[in-house]
Amino acid sequence: MPSLAPKHLVRAADADLLDTFLVSAIATVVIIRIFLEATGYPQLGGGGLHIAHVLWGGLGMLAAIVLLLLYLSPTTRLIAALVGGAGFGAFVDELGKFVTSDNDYFFKPTAAILYAVFVVLFLATRELRRFRALSPEECLVNSVEIAERLASGTLTAGDRDRALQLLARADQAHPLVAPLRASFLAAGLAPPSFRRLRWMGSAGARTYAAIVSSRWFRRILAAIFIIAGVAFVLTAVATVALLGGSFFGVLDAQVALDEETSGGPIASVIQAIAGFVAGVLIVRGVFVLRHSRVRAYRAFELAILVDLLLAQPFAFLDVGFGAAVDVLIDLALLATLRYLQAQERKLLVANAAI
């Protein structure tokens, strides 16, 4: 009988909880900053004592670890991801105190550091999930994990479908595959947990899909990027004029150029390159929009990714957490563009099948 012992670390098929962890952490940082600003930065404690929220962050991460070590259930993993993410967010929010000699919570580069940490974590976990498909061995191990819900009577229709898909990609000669498939097909199904929340989520998804898929919304989105493209062209012309004026010794141009590079030469150069690349991608997308919406949406998506990964870290370094508004707008546009691309691809497949 083949051994189930893997020759490498086995990846989880359902790794979306990593995204839940990061979203919970980011939301916690934002909520803490808003709450402290609104309440005048109160201190918990007295008599010379101050219970910093870094301690609550450690408690949240401890609670998540204990939950994962004590219980075996999908609900526990979800709660652990939420609680652990919130704990991590509360923990790293106090970063400024621990990288400065005067324990400065308001250390402005903290926002840029946190932004970089979350971006690196997201990209690293995404790469770990996507750099190669699950092996037949990993598919089998994941289906065995789902089989735990057979014994507890908590197997849902979604669990069964996912397990059958995994078993279809496993080694069919393995002696566990056939009995597992038979067990999943014969199993009674439990009602999905958090039914009301799932219904609300699906209703929200349907509403979002109806809005995003409408013709007027696509026109509004196209108008946004057309305006952005025009703004880029005007900015590029102004920048060239500024550089030319500075080169020929025009005082006002030199002063304006010094103000533009006040964040430091390296940061200014990187931001300028990011802005130029994003602008070129937007203009390209605008030109191909009439002929191919898929290519246009892809160009717009790349422009947003360039802004998120190259320009926004330096914006956080310059203005602190105020740059979060631009990031939220970019993320909303990114999610919309990815949905529209998926819809366009489905439309192309449907047209090809006719």
> Rounded to whole angstroms, how far apart are CA atoms 51 and 33?
16
CA distances from 212 to 20, 198, 273, 332 (A): 24, 21, 31, 12
* Residue partners of 285: CB distance under 8 A and separation at least 6: 225, 229, 295, 296, 297, 298, 299, 300, 303
Residue with tokens 């939950």: 67
**Residue-level pLDDT at 335:** 79
**Residue-level pLDDT at 1:** 46
Sign of CA dihedral 86, 87, 88, 93: positive
> Rounded to whole angstroms, how far apart are CA atoms 155 and 73?
11
**Residue-level pLDDT at 197:** 53
Question: Cβ(77)–Cβ(68) under 8 Å?
Answer: yes
> Rounded to whole angstroms, how far apart are CA atoms 139 and 129?
13
* Residue partners of 122: CB distance under 8 A and separation at least 6: 19, 22
Q: Which helix (H) or strand (E) holds 128?
A: helix 109-130
User: Consecutive 10-residue runs of the chain (354 residues): their mean pLDDT?
Assistant: 56 74 84 82 69 87 93 84 92 85 80 80 76 81 83 78 86 87 81 58 62 74 81 73 69 63 57 78 84 84 81 68 74 80 71 62
Pull the structure tokens for residue 300: 């717009």
Amino acid at 326: D
**Domain segments of the chain: what residues?**
17-130, 136-193, 209-353
Q: Which helix (H) or strand (E) holds 252?
A: helix 251-260
Amino acid at 30: V
Angle at 284 between CA 280 and CA 286, to 5 degrees: 120
CA 262 to chain centre: 30
Question: Cβ(171)–Cβ(177) under 8 Å?
Answer: yes
Q: Does the pTM of the predicted model rise above 0.75?
A: no
